[in-house]
């Protein structure tokens, strides 16, 4: 019996568009931005920040080394956050409705810059805070590991105190779902253009 719903953030709750971010960094003077920014995983300093391996200051220093010309902290942060399109309000409403019947959790590969700025802001559309929608949250930069590494799923079980066999994990990456399946989670792929709540109703 499913008691817990474990949500990925980007591509499931929040709409994302990698090419927006790539274009923003190219405008700042980064010639090879596309090679660092992937749909499901990052490379170089972008990956290191997501893994919690470097600080925001170290990240910005590393990014400046890839850019021709002077750029401010604000310009770097803004370009990075252009990866995020936003959260439609109706998805927040659906999360609140699901919370009446399930324990709701989040597992996200993300970074501290997006987390404390754009992501936090988007969850405030209904006058609530991000944490009001979830019974527990695990982020890659805090866990110091990223999906599909098994370590982050073990962190989920330990930190949130949930049983994988009672948990449905929703993600837009099949690799992440495959890793979760090996550890006993039930899984659901959220494909582009689909809505998680419609997929749940059809199950």
* Domain coordinates in residue numbering, the chain: 4-14+88-113+126-202, 18-81
Separation between Cα atoms, residue 167 and residue 83, nearest integer Å:
29
pLDDT at 38 over 90: no
Out of 8, 122, 171, 172, the active site residue is 8
Q: Given the structure tokens 């992937």, which residue do they identify?
A: 38
Q: 18-81: which CATH topology?
A: DNA polymerase; domain 1 (1.10.150)
Kindly tell me if the per-residue pLDDT of 39 is higher than 80.
no
The reply to whether domains 4-14+88-113+126-202 and 18-81 share a CATH topology is no
Mean pLDDT of 175-181: 98
Structure tokens at 34: 């596309």
Let me know if 122 is a catalytic residue: no
pTM: 0.95
pLDDT at 62: 96
CB 84 within 8 A of CB 119: yes
Identify the CATH number of the domain defined by range 4-14+88-113+126-202: 3.40.50.1000
Distance CA 39, CA 194 (A): 17
**Which three-class secondary structure string do you get for 73-94?**
HHHHHHHHHCCEEECCHHHHHH
106 has pLDDT over 80: yes
């Amino acid at each position: 019996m499913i008691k817990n719903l474990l949500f990925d953030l980007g591509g499931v709750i929040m709409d994302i568009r990698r090419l927006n971010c790539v274009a923003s960094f190219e405008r700042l003077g980064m010639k090879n931005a596309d090679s660092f920014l992937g749909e499901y995983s990052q490379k170089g300093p972008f990956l290191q920040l997501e893994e919690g391996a470097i600080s925001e200051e170290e990240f910005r220093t590393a990014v400046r080394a890839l850019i021709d010309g002077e750029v401010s902290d604000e310009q770097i942060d803004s370009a990075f956050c252009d990866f995020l399109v936003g959260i439609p309000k109706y998805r927040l409403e659906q999360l609140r409705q699901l919370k009446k019947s399930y324990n709701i959790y989040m597992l996200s590969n993300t970074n501290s810059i997006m987390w404390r700025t754009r992501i936090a802001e988007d969850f405030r559309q209904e006058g609530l805070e991000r944490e009001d929608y979830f019974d527990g949250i695990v982020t890659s930069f805090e866990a110091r590991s990223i999906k599909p590494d098994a370590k982050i799923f073990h962190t989920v079980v330990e930190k949130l105190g949930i049983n994988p066999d009672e948990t449905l994990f929703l993600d837009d990456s099949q690799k992440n779902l495959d890793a979760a399946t090996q550890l006993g989670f039930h899984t659901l792929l959220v494909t582009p253009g689909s809505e998680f709540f419609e997929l749940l109703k059809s199950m």
